[in-house]
């Protein structure tokens, strides 16, 4: 009996000794931080999948050119300018699958001029004139992708048969960029100086007053331009202008002769991607 009591007391003494060691042992504090680490803020990381600086200044950017986003009626003139809405949706989804991301011309200009950020594979999806199908057919497709469009708006086209002011404001609210395509869509190279200035200056002013947009970019009607038209566009305050010259726009290009990639009724998602890769 006395031997069992002796073992119990020995176990109790060992437990008390272990508890005493734990109480007296100081807890480990946080690792020491040097003064340099304590005062230097953590640098901001660039958003994933973006480029900026010198790389953004050199970035090639395809600027797609669309007109009507609907199936062409039989016998319609310029049927190649009509892209079926289902083909358009397929093309946009194919671009997304190929890792493209839609941006505005303003984003491209900031990248080229100031090294601002761009996605690794940017693309501008632009629409000329101001057709109702830009709102009814193109807008839902781009909205589903979270992409902006660029509307080159001819002021004369607003109203019956075209876009309403409410629809244009809705496109703006959805993130679309609204740019100038002049007042009446003339061949700018045929105008005298006064008429040329009127088309360029007044279209920009009216877009600003009616829709509260900057309208810093111009699309030449029918792609018609020359040195005099380019100079007039600069004098009117535009930052850049797009043409119908075929090709990929690049940071080193003349800002008032930017190329675009025409998308026709005969194109498919496969042929469009081939154009961009070629």
Adjacent-strand bridge partners of 68: 82
Distance CA(54)–CA(50), nearest Å, equals 13
- How much is the pLDDT for 49? 78
Question: What pLDDT does 209 receive?
Answer: 97
pLDDT at res. 263: 98
Determine if the pTM surpasses 0.75. Answer: yes
pLDDT of residue 37: 36
For 157-166, the CB contacts below 8 A with 24+ separation are 157/129, 157/130, 157/131, 157/185, 158/130, 161/132, 162/129, 162/130, 162/131, 162/132, 163/130, 163/131, 163/132, 163/134, 163/135, 165/210, 165/211
Q: What is the pLDDT of residue 199?
A: 98
- pLDDT given for residue 139 in this prediction: 98
Residue 16 to residue 122: CA distance in whole angstroms: 71
Domain boundaries, the chain: 51-277
How long is the chain?
Answer: 278
Measured distance CA(102)–CA(63) in Å, rounded: 10
Which pLDDT value is given to residue 47?
Answer: 57
Distance CA 172, CA 161 (A): 20
Mean pLDDT for each 10-residue chunk of the chain (278 residues)?
44 44 38 36 52 94 98 93 98 98 98 96 98 98 98 96 96 98 98 98 98 97 98 98 98 96 97 93
Query: What pLDDT does 1 receive?
Result: 45
CATH of domain 51-277: 3.20.20.370
pLDDT on residue 69? 98
């Amino acid at each position: 009996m006395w031997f069992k009591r002796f073992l119990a007391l020995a176990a109790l003494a060992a437990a008390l000794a272990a508890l005493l060691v734990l109480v007296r042992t100081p807890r480990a504090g946080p690792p020491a931080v040097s003064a340099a680490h304590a005062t230097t803020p953590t640098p901001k990381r660039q958003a994933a999948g973006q480029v900026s600086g010198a790389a953004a200044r050199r970035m090639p950017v395809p600027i797609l050119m669309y007109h009507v986003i609907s199936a062409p009626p039989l016998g319609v003139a310029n049927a190649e300018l009509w892209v079926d809405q289902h083909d358009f949706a397929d093309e946009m989804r194919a671009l997304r699958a190929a890792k493209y991301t839609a941006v505005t011309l303003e984003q491209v200009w900031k990248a080229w001029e100031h090294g601002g950020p761009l996605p690794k594979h940017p693309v501008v999806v632009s629409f000329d004139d101001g057709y109702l199908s830009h709102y009814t057919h193109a807008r839902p497709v781009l909205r589903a992708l979270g992409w902006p469009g660029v509307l080159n708006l001819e002021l004369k086209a607003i109203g019956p048969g075209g876009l309403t002011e409410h629809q244009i404001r809705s496109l703006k609210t959805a993130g679309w960029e609204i740019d100038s395509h002049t007042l009446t869509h003339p061949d700018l190279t045929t105008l005298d100086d006064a008429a040329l200035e009127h088309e360029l200056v007044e279209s920009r002013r009216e877009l600003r007053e009616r829709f509260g947009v900057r309208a810093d970019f111009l699309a030449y009607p029918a792609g018609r331009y020359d040195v005099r038209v380019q100079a007039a566009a600069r004098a009117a305050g535009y930052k850049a202008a797009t043409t119908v010259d075929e090709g990929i726009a690049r940071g080193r290009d003349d800002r008032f002769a930017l190329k675009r990639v025409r998308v026709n009724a005969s194109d498919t998602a496969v042929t469009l991607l081939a154009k961009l890769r070629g």
